[in-house]
């Protein structure tokens, strides 16, 4: 029975992206929301990298010799970076300048959409694994699965706000549906497969790790630095820290 509760929890966690989408839809000042959401997303993603993915990867690879761990980590992190760089080339142009003339404003809007698309693609892959993990944890311990899913749900709200502040839901319906259901799909994979080897899970986590590093350093950080003096950017950083603290208390 617990595996079905696990599926429900993965579905609920994914639906929290839509709360972020609702917040993005209700805020009128898109410039302020973009600056806020980029700062917020950067804090959340860095927390995800440092306190979730890195410990998880090291645990999955703990049975391997240190030199083997290093080779696996470097190799598949680079693959993740390269994958997103290649995808980057197929997504509409995003070069921009932070000036006030109409052309530069259009380029900036294009850049924001570009970041949102890359973030969405990376999170879909991450959420598949996350849903797999939530379903597995719930199967063994319902309370643990519930706590983890609540923590994931809290993180999904600001990430949803960031993505949907830059992407129109109506124009990206399939991506929105896939993002929302990606955790649930991961739970279904667990239900049918039961388990994956630690090496396979580590490889998928490392590819996701590389993709999220690319988004953090190449896309989000330059935007944050360009708007670092804005109140909305500072508010985004503070809000991100508050969400992380709330997540650790669960």
Write out pLDDT tens, residues 162-202. Answer: 777 766 666 667 778 888 899 999 889 888 887 778 898 88
Residue 101 has pLDDT above 60, yes or no: no
Q: In the predicted model, what is the mean pLDDT of residues 62-88?
A: 91
Q: How high is the pLDDT of residue 231? A: 93
Residue 98 has pLDDT above 60, yes or no: no
The answer to whether residues 196 and 69 touch, using CB atoms and an 8 Å cutoff, is: no
What mean pLDDT value characterizes the chain?
A: 80
Q: How high is the pLDDT of residue 26? A: 84
Which tokens hold the place of 61?
Answer: 């690879």
Q: What is the pLDDT of residues 195-218, one digit of tens each?
A: 778 898 888 889 888 888 987 888
The answer to whether residues 211 and 125 touch, using CB atoms and an 8 Å cutoff, is: yes
Around 103, how many Cα atoms within 13 Å sit in the side-chain half-sphere?
A: 1
User: Quick one: CA torsion of 54, 60, 66, 69, rounded to 10 degrees?
Assistant: -70
* Lowest model confidence (mean pLDDT) among 20-24, 27-31, 104-108, 126-130: 104-108
Q: Residues for the chain: how many in total?
A: 250
Strand, coil or helix: what is 227? coil
Residue 73 has pLDDT above 50, yes or no: yes
Band (93; pLDDT cuts 50, 70, 90): very low
Residues 6+ apart with CB under 8 A from 37: 24, 158, 161, 162, 165, 166, 236
Q: CA-to-CA distance for 201 and 221, rounded, in angstroms? A: 28
Q: CA-to-CA distance for 181 and 174, rounded, in angstroms? A: 11
Residue 97 has pLDDT above 70, yes or no: no
Around 95, how many Cα atoms within 13 Å sit in the side-chain half-sphere?
A: 1
* Lowest model confidence (mean pLDDT) among 1-15, 49-63, 92-106: 92-106
Which residue stretches of 91-195 are H helix?
102-140, 142-166, 173-193
Q: CA-to-CA distance for 237 and 243, rounded, in angstroms? A: 10
Q: What is the pLDDT of residues 18-37, one digit of tens each?
A: 888 888 888 878 778 878 88
* Among 96-100, 109-113, 220-224, the range of highest mean pLDDT: 220-224
């Amino acid at each position: 029975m617990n595996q079905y509760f696990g599926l429900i929890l993965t579905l609920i966690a994914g639906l929290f992206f839509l709360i972020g989408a609702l917040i993005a839809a209700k805020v009128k000042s898109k410039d302020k929301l973009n600056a806020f959401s980029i700062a917020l997303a950067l804090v959340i993603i860095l927390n995800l990298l440092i306190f979730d993915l890195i410990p998880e990867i090291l645990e999955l690879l703990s049975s391997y010799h240190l030199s083997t761990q290093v080779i696996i980590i470097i190799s598949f992190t680079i693959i993740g970076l390269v994958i997103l760089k290649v995808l980057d080339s197929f997504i509409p142009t995003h070069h921009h300048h932070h000036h006030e003339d109409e052309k530069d404003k259009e380029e900036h809007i294009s850049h924001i959409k570009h970041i949102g698309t890359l973030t969405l693609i990376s999170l879909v892959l991450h959420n598949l694994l996350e849903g797999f993990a939530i379903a597995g944890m719930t199967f063994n311990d319902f309370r643990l699965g519930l706590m983890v899913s609540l923590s994931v749900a809290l993180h999904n709200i600001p990430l949803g706000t960031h993505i949907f502040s830059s992407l129109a839901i109506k124009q990206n319906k399939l991506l929105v549906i896939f993002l929302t259901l990606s955790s649930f799909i991961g739970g279904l994979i667990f239900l049918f497969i039961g388990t994956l080897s630690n090496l396979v899970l580590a490889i998928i986590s490392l590819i996701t790790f590389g993709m999220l590093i690319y988004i953090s350093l190449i896309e989000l950080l330059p935007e944050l630095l360009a708007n670092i003096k804005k109140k909305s950017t500072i508010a985004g950083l503070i809000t991100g820290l508050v969400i992380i603290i709330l997540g650790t208390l669960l």
